[in-house]
Amino acid sequence: MMQLHELTATALRAKLAAGETTAEAVTQSCLARIADLEGSIHAWIHLAGDEALTRARASDAGPAPGLLQGIPVGVKDIIDTADMPTAYGSTLYQGHRPPWDASCVSLVRAAGGVPLGKTVSTEFAYFAPGATANPHNIAHTPGGSSSGSAAAVAARMVPLAFGSQTAGSVIRPASYCGVVGFKASRGKHCLAGIKTLAHSLDTLGWFARSVPDIALMRSALLGEEQGLGDSSSHAPRIGVCRTAQWNEAEPSSQQALAAAAERFAAAGAQVEDLDLPPLFDDYNASQQRLMNYEVARALAYERIDHRNEISDVLCANCDEGLAVTEAEYEAARNHGRAGRHAFAELMQDVDILLTPSAPGEAPAGLAATGDPKFNRTWTLLGVPALSLPGHTGQQGLPVGIQLIGRFGGDLDLLRWGQWAEERLR
């Protein structure tokens, strides 16, 4: 019999609703799992065990349940919490206690969720890594910047955890850690109370172990339950999009994409190659230029008043951003807008795109978090993205595939994602 911490959020919800377990028992099981593994994985920067148990007991004694009633949730360290410190992945803010909850945290609490603690983030959700290791092999990175959240979900420490994405900070760690990761359409969910990195790109996301779990969190944030329905009725039209970076994909990522396309076609999907037009050849460069420009300004206080207290890599990236002229910045923004119009036309003939989540397996070492080269384009477009596990590379580490939907078509993407997930098992 599976232990409570091993169950998905939707399975826990069903058990809690049926009276087969309690929120307190679920929280205790997650805390015991953390106690067993945290010494090697380092997924948490702050654990609120006593507070979580108190909230779980109140949930068991409380009124009609919310969508997340009694379900533990991890919160990325760049997301403000009134009852837990928020350090934004930086020693500069060690012990900082915001006077408020971020919007997404308040909505989780309102839905009955139990915030379990703060998960490790890279410094200000940029590239300088934290201490978190990959649960599948602690000598390898879990990816970034949402490293702690991805690792905590992969290690069965918590069923749901928040991340954020400005380049590839949800999809890449989801692929490296072998979990489901979802980046919403930009602007779909409120970012109030989340440390700004690049205001044109920052997007809320989260991790789970199934697509229905992703949809459950989305429903809680929206305040209305939106089910995925029966995914067996018909198959999607899938465009296999290798992108301009395809030659930089490792064999494991290329194999994962080919295997998924083969399975989907065998299950009745209409699968065809789809190449992005030349407009997108330099799209990654525009995303990076725009991102660096905005990072240098969003972190103006930190880089001007506390430059000696931030990492060398962040200082260097800020300097790159300061070297970008306003004209170059506006050209990158215009490139982004042009791409969004072209992408909307491109998606008229397909339901979803199938593309790599990451270059390959998680790289060895914890000094870097990997390359977001297969994520930058989709983040600049602002479209929803979903990473699904299902393939294992030569080193025995997970390799995900990425599904891309139309802008604003988040629920449709999750419905097709559920169809795909069932065919990858």
Angle at the Cα of 33 from the Cα atoms of 118 and 75, rounded to 5 degrees:
15
| Residues designated catalytic | 76, 145, 169
Tens-of-pLDDT digits for all 425 residues of the chain?
899 999 999 999 999 999 999 999 999 999 999 999 999 999 999 999 999 999 999 999 988 789 999 999 999 999 999 999 999 999 999 999 999 999 999 999 999 999 999 999 999 999 999 999 999 999 999 999 999 999 999 999 999 999 999 999 999 999 999 999 999 999 999 999 999 999 999 999 999 999 999 999 999 999 999 989 887 678 999 999 999 999 999 999 999 999 999 999 999 999 999 999 999 999 999 999 999 999 999 999 999 999 999 999 999 999 999 999 999 999 999 999 999 999 999 999 999 999 999 999 999 999 999 999 999 999 999 999 999 999 999 999 999 999 999 999 999 999 999 999 999 98
- d(Cα 364, Cα 289) in Å, to the nearest integer? 28
**Domain locations in the chain as residue ranges:** 1-425
- For 1-425, which CATH class? alpha beta
Q: What is the CA radius of gyration of the chain?
A: 20
For 419, half-sphere exposure in the C-beta direction (CA atoms, 13 angstrom radius) is 26
Residues 6+ apart with CB under 8 A from 35: none
Q: Whole-prediction pTM value?
A: 0.98
- Residue 26: φ, ψ to 5°: -65, -45
The pLDDT of residue 375 is 98
The pLDDT of residue 65 is 81
Q: Where are the alpha helices (DSSP H) in 62-137?
A: 103-110
**DSSP H or E stretch at residue 355:** strand 352-356
